[in-house]
Amino acid sequence: MSTDKEKLLYVEHCKGLNGLEKVVLREVRGSSVEVYLFGGQVTSWKNEYGEELLFVSSKANFKPPKAIRGGIPICFPQFATHGSLEQHGFARNRHWSVDPDPPPFPKNTSNKAFIDLILRPSEEDVKIWPHRYEFRLRVTLGPGGDLMLTSRIRNTNSDGKSFTFTFAYHTYFYVSDISEVRIEGLETLDYLDNLKDKERFTEQGDAITFESEVDKVYLSTPTKIAILDHERKRTFVLRKDGLPDAVVWNPWDKKAKAMPDIGDEEYKHMICVEAACVEKPITLKPGEEWRGRQELSAVPSSYCSGQLDPLKVMQSS
Ligand code: TA6
Q: Which of 171, 217, 249 to mutate to test the pocket of ligand 1 (most atoms within 8 A of CB)?
A: 249
Answer yes or no: is 114 within a domain.
yes
Other beta carbons within 10 angstroms of residue 166's beta carbon come to 21
Range of the domain at 44: 4-177+241-296
Contact between 228 and 181 (Cβ < 8 Å): yes
Tell me, what's the pLDDT at 302?
62
- Residue 114: pLDDT band (50, 70, 90) is very high
Ligand 1 geometric centre to CA of 287 (Å)? 31
- If phi > 0 it is left, if psi is from -120 to 50 it is alpha, else beta; for residue 30 that is left
The CATH code of the domain that includes 87 is 2.70.98.10
The answer to whether 211 is a known catalytic residue is: no
Distance CA 152, CA 106 (A): 14
| Residue 2 or residue 68, greater confidence | 68
Alpha-carbon Rg for the chain, nearest whole angstrom, is 19
What residues line ligand 1, using a CB cutoff of 6 Å?
67, 80, 87-88, 170, 194, 215, 247, 249, 272, 274
Answer yes or no: is 200 within a domain.
no
Q: In terms of pTM, does the model score above 0.75? A: yes
Contact between 182 and 208 (Cβ < 8 Å): yes
- Going by their DSSP bridges, the two strands 289-300 and 147-155 should be labelled as antiparallel
Answer yes or no: is 257 within a domain.
yes
Catalytic residue among 170, 184, 266, 295: 170
Other beta carbons within 10 angstroms of residue 120's beta carbon come to 15
Tell me, what's the pLDDT at 105?
72
69 labelled as ligand-binding?
yes
Question: What is the per-residue pLDDT across 161-205, written as a single tens digit (0 to 9) for each?
Answer: 999 999 999 999 999 999 999 999 999 999 999 999 999 999 997
Q: Which of 170, 254, 266 to mutate to test the pocket of ligand 1 (most atoms within 8 A of CB)?
A: 170
Answer yes or no: is 12 within a domain.
yes
| Residue 13 or residue 101, greater confidence | 13
Tell me, what's the pLDDT at 103?
79
Tell me, what's the pLDDT at 53?
98
Answer yes or no: is 199 within a domain.
no
Mean pLDDT of the region 273-283: 98
Tell me, what's the pLDDT at 144?
95
Answer yes or no: is 259 within a domain.
yes
**DSSP string of 53-106, one letter each residue:** -B-B-TT---STTSPPSBSB-EEBS-SS--TTSPTTBSGGGSB-EE-SSPPPPP
- Count structural domains, the chain: 1
Answer yes or no: is 218 within a domain.
no
Question: What is the per-residue pLDDT across 232-275, written as a single tens digit (0 to 9) for each?
Answer: 999 999 999 999 999 999 999 999 999 999 999 999 999 999 99
Answer yes or no: is 196 within a domain.
no
The answer to whether 279 is a known catalytic residue is: no
